[in-house]
Structure 1
Amino acid sequence: MAPPISEQPVRPPSRDFTYFLVLVVLVFPLWSIPLFSWAFVLYELKGGGLWNLSWHGKALFTYALAEVLFSVYHHTLYKFVNGPCPIPPGNIEELTLTFKRITQTGLADLAEYDEETINESRPGSPAEAVEALSPTDPRAVDFQNQFRNWFGGVPWSQVRRKEMCAWLYWSLFYEHIPEFDKIPPKNLKVLLDCLDLIEKRTGTTIPEGSNPNAQPKLLTLDPVSVWWRPLIYYLVVAFGDFVMKQLLIHVGGMTLGTRHGIDYLVRVPSTWDACKDPTPIVFAYGLGIGLPQYSTIIYGFLTRVPDRPLFVLLQPHISQQIFHPRFLAPKNRKETMVIMRQLLADFGWVPNPSDSRNGASDGRKPKGITLASHSNGSYVHAWFLKDAPDLVARSLYIDPVTFCGWEGDLCLKFLYNPATNGLQLIMNYFVSTEIGISNLLQRQFDWTANTLFFEEIPHARDPARNKFIVAHNDVVYCAPRIKKYLRSHGVRKGLYYNPKGQHGLALIPGTEGFNELITWLREPEQY
């Protein structure tokens, strides 16, 4: 009899030809520029032939010197980023509720729910009591198999109490666990309560002791993974961002604005009426190089649905804008939502609380916004739905990573597992190991705030109010798990699952995913 899936070893695939092709053609040439710049500068300074160089040679030396100085600056930023995690412990009540929701997820059999006939505002899982399962219960085995991702994918039976408590303490308080007799009593109670929930949900008792081969992934405490890259790379990215902004301003009719440290681009049609016309689109993009990378979807919003405003939230900390003053100082959930609520109210897109308090309302009430997000932008989406659901009339999730974050797939695949093919290496070098992105994911990441549960989505099973675009072959997250999670809670028509899709494919005009999301945006809005 074969062992359960949670006991089967995870064997990573070997590196294929595309990995070495990308390494030789793309990664190594960029990675080696600072190295060769140091060698050239030191050689010329030591040899004393600098002043005998032609003007071409002097120009090359000047560029190489700039790369050398930038590499020193980059290393200084790395040392800063690799410091202590700046996130304070969250609210104890919210943390314990989050863990309860995690262990409740998947307990109820909701596979037969139908969005056309189920009218309850909450699905069944949050109502389930967390009781001890049998270790062979399929629900327990599934939870074991997913949760072991946080311990490097070792067989579940190899996880020991010391490592489990270390992971739980990090996930609760963003700190290394002290000796048990030095843990504050309140923290200790929360820790033991969560450990009890994990043991009940997995149907196992975590053995005492330690296993060095099952070290936990402590996302915001582990050393930050950063690969250096040259000054010329950041200059090209900055130039591309500047050009895209100018095109969107002068051709797309958008306006660049800033409010309390949040940058944005906005366009409002001159004849649009907030109370009668379709809701404005607010778009939060994902990791990468920002506007140049997302130009196709932004252009699609401007041209395919031109009858409504468009707001693009600019995020320099995930767009490799190293010269931006807030590059390593991203706004957190609370700061972002306070600013965004007031900003959208000032635009007249959402009700302004001050108007009703002061009796200034004229009886015309805006309907709210259509919130669209891609990938990492779905964390901002989650903040809206947690803190300001009244602002959101409709939601469009493209390749959402905010669901099932507790299972560890995203963390393991995107940050810890070594690349084995060309696409993974591109994601690794050009995205996940860039210093600003690493700072966000490995020092500023609040996984409790960034995890969205189904019951936190207003009208989640209404396909007119919520649209989920998920790609089966996504290299960033485990798409089948997202599909299973949404389908088990009754999402049918609202889920577009592309069996051949890849991460970001739905952003490209002409693809099935792009056509699907544009069609959904154009549908008559129903409330």
Structure 2
Amino acid sequence: MSFPISEQPLHPSARQLSFYLVFILCVFPVWSIPIFSWLFVLYELKGGGLWNLSWHGKALFTYALAEVLFSIYHYNLRTFVDGPCPIPPGNLEELILAFKRITQTGLADLPEDGNDEETLDVSRPGSPAVTIERLSPTDPRAVDFQNQFRNWFGGVPWSQIRRKEMCTWLYWSLFYAHMPDFDKIPPARLKVLLDCLDMVEKRTGTTIPDGSNPRAHPRLLTLDPVGIWWRPLIYYLLVALSDFLIKQLLIRVGGMTLGTRHGLDYLVRVPPMWNACKDPTPIVFAYGLGLGLLQYSTIICSFLTHLPDRPLFVLLQPHISQQIFHPRFLAPKNRKETTAIMRQLLIDFGWVPNPADVRKGETDDPKPRGITLASHSNGSYVHAWFLKDAPDLVSRSLFIDPVTFCGWEGDLCLKFLYNRATTGLQLIMNYFVSTEMGIANLLQRQFDWTANTLFFEEIPHSRNPSRNKFIMANDDVVLCAQRIKRYLVSHGVRKGLYYNSEGQHGLALVPGTEGFNEIMAWLKESEQY
């Protein structure tokens, strides 16, 4: 007897040899530095032989003591991060609309390689405004939704999820808080909760059984304990040094300027003879998680050398770049702050039209045509903020390995934050990226899923391949590229999608690869409006 895919248990993979090699050669040497520093300092202090050490020994003791003090500082920061979620509940109407939009996704009978003829807004082709009706539990659309939604419950078979756990997850997703007892939930919130539960039951074609099943404990991203592995002082010092050196290289050799506006840091280069009304649009680049400029220096330099005739703006994000000494390391700008500051910056640069000039009736002169917004991975969340709050600023959009699509399905959360690493690459992503304090703080305490989720109909001119380009790789270890490809293609994206069937996350940023050539060719092509 065959079971639907949503009932098949997800068996954990066995750890591969690469996992142990990476742990022994990369992770353990870095992770163990604070431990050995503590042991060395305690041994010398207890033995009383500190003053008998050679100058080499005293230098080593000084360094070890610095590591000990930093580990205490790191622990205090971790305690702060592991506190309550600071994000207040969002706009309730927006939350309900977003949740309704999630349950609508995949309901329409759209071919995976076809086109979506229906629209929510004639000016923005998008996903169909279908009525949410109860499906049969064996309907392929219901089974597919069950299979993806169970990711939020650890991947247990759908039939094992009970009402208490489902309501707990729904309450968190709506109000960013732990669910109290039912009789203590305010009536307005209770109604919203039950309405969302009804949508889930209709969409899955099932009735969630009463009771509780601890094995199906939900993943409450901003409430669960934050997963942080410590790092030594020397690690952060090297990251800070590399960031400083690359900034100097980009300033002195690349002709860029370092600026700050209301706590938002950036690098910018403007060619001297560039004209905002006639020449190619400026590139604004939002990078992803990792090591910031150290990790993205190659693609930034490629922008500078391959596209010397147009401005380049790089949004610096210390909270996802492991810049622990930066004053905003644990205080990232949110959606409203970022878009408001960026809008004014772009107006001041003269890259986008000034609304004040339009109100004055100064409409005869040519106006700037906006920006080309490029983003990679986590940077696509910033990209989503722009398209939601300031779509008038964006003329063209370049999404590289975007994580902003289909985030509601739970693949990204499960793979990047909750899965047990089994390969060397997964362990590198786990230790050097997802469990770093600033990144963990952003993803597990500052994450606003409604702000970070981009639906197809929110992309202006979404099917115009000259206005929107999507670069993806099949073997992406961070996101489920196949699902995002299916989502985009079913809504009519064809020529605007480059999909590398053998590529990995970030490969398109490497010069000489097909994805890189695709990016540069698209940026250089004639801009058609």
Instruction: Give the gaps of 5 or more residues in structure 2.
Output: none
Distance of 2:124 and 2:336 partners within structure 1: 25
Secondary structure in 1 matching 2:331: coil
Distance of 1:522 and 1:51 partners within structure 2: 65
Quick one: which amino acid aligns to residue 37 of structure 1? Answer: S
Among candidates 411, 416, 419, match of residue 418 of structure 2: 416
Secondary structure in 2 matching 1:395: strand
The answer to whether the aligner puts 1:316 opposite 2:288 as a matched pair is no
Partner residue of 2:41? 41
Whether the 8 Å contact between 2:124 and 2:459 is mirrored in structure 1 is no
The offset of 1:307, in angstroms, is 1.2
Distance of 2:474 and 2:301 partners within structure 1: 25
Partner residue of 1:56? 56
Whether the 8 Å contact between 1:371 and 1:381 is mirrored in structure 2 is yes
Distance of 1:113 and 1:385 partners within structure 2: 25
The answer to whether the aligner puts 1:475 opposite 2:492 as a matched pair is no
Whether the 8 Å contact between 2:114 and 2:490 is mirrored in structure 1 is no
CA deviations 1:233-278 (Å, max 9, x no partner) are: 0000000000100000000000000000000000000110000000
Distance of 1:239 and 1:305 partners within structure 2: 28
Partner residue of 1:196? 198
Partner residue of 1:261? 263
Identity %: 80
What pairs up with 1:133-172 in 2 under 5 angstroms?
133-172=135-174
What pairs up with 1:5-154 in 2 under 5 angstroms?
5-111=5-111, 121-123=123-125, 125-154=127-156
Distance of 1:41 and 1:58 partners within structure 2: 11
Whether the 8 Å contact between 1:115 and 1:461 is mirrored in structure 2 is no
Partner residue of 2:304? 302
Among candidates 204, 207, 219, match of residue 205 of structure 1: 207
Most deviating of 106-115 and 33-42: 106-115
The offset of 1:51, in angstroms, is 0.6
Quick one: which amino acid aligns to residue 66 of structure 1? Answer: A
Among candidates 349, 370, 377, match of residue 351 of structure 2: 349
Secondary structure in 2 matching 1:452: coil
Distance of 2:117 and 2:146 partners within structure 1: 33
CA deviations 1:151-187 (Å, max 9, x no partner) are: 0000000000000000000000000001111111111
Change over 3 Å in CA distance of 1:149–1:503 after alignment to 2: same
Partner residue of 1:243? 245
Quick one: which amino acid aligns to residue 10 of structure 2? Answer: V
Distance of 2:116 and 2:512 partners within structure 1: 30
The offset of 1:125, in angstroms, is 3.6
Quick one: which amino acid aligns to residue 373 of structure 2? Answer: L
Change over 3 Å in CA distance of 1:512–1:162 after alignment to 2: same
Partner residue of 2:380? 378
Whether the 8 Å contact between 1:111 and 1:490 is mirrored in structure 2 is no
Whether the 8 Å contact between 2:125 and 2:461 is mirrored in structure 1 is no
Change over 3 Å in CA distance of 1:116–1:275 after alignment to 2: farther
Quick one: which amino acid aligns to residue 338 of structure 1? Answer: A
CA deviations 1:295-342 (Å, max 9, x no partner) are: 111011111111110000000000000000000000000110110000
Whether the 8 Å contact between 1:470 and 1:498 is mirrored in structure 2 is yes
Partner residue of 1:327? 329
Distance of 1:84 and 1:137 partners within structure 2: 40
CA deviations 1:57-80 (Å, max 9, x no partner) are: 000000000000000000000000
The offset of 1:110, in angstroms, is 2.1
Change over 3 Å in CA distance of 1:361–1:61 after alignment to 2: farther
Partner residue of 2:495? 493
Secondary structure in 2 matching 1:370: strand
Change over 3 Å in CA distance of 1:450–1:117 after alignment to 2: closer
Distance of 1:192 and 1:489 partners within structure 2: 30
Secondary structure in 2 matching 1:313: strand
Partner residue of 1:293? 295
The offset of 1:364, in angstroms, is 2.3
Change over 3 Å in CA distance of 1:104–1:123 after alignment to 2: farther
Change over 3 Å in CA distance of 1:240–1:132 after alignment to 2: same
CA deviations 1:441-491 (Å, max 9, x no partner) are: 000000110000001000111100000001000000101000100011010
Distance of 1:106 and 1:185 partners within structure 2: 31
CA deviations 1:133-154 (Å, max 9, x no partner) are: 0000000000000000000000
Most deviating of 125-134 and 359-368: 359-368
Change over 3 Å in CA distance of 1:524–1:420 after alignment to 2: same
**TM-score between both structures, scaled by the size of structure 2:** 0.98
Change over 3 Å in CA distance of 1:116–1:14 after alignment to 2: closer
Secondary structure in 2 matching 1:473: coil
Change over 3 Å in CA distance of 1:408–1:230 after alignment to 2: same
CA deviations 1:112-132 (Å, max 9, x no partner) are: 776799996455643111000
CA deviations 1:321-378 (Å, max 9, x no partner) are: 0000000000000110110000101000011112233456662210000000000000
Among candidates 443, 453, 456, match of residue 455 of structure 2: 453
Quick one: which amino acid aligns to residue 296 of structure 2? Answer: Y
Change over 3 Å in CA distance of 1:16–1:92 after alignment to 2: same
Whether the 8 Å contact between 2:124 and 2:461 is mirrored in structure 1 is no
Number of residue pairs matched by the alignment: 527
Whether the 8 Å contact between 1:112 and 1:490 is mirrored in structure 2 is no
Quick one: which amino acid aligns to residue 412 of structure 1? Answer: L
Distance of 1:447 and 1:117 partners within structure 2: 28
Quick one: which amino acid aligns to residue 108 of structure 1? Answer: A
Change over 3 Å in CA distance of 1:107–1:114 after alignment to 2: closer
Secondary structure in 2 matching 1:126: coil
Distance of 1:123 and 1:149 partners within structure 2: 29
Distance of 1:249 and 1:225 partners within structure 2: 36
Instruction: Give the gaps of 5 or more residues in structure 1.
Output: none
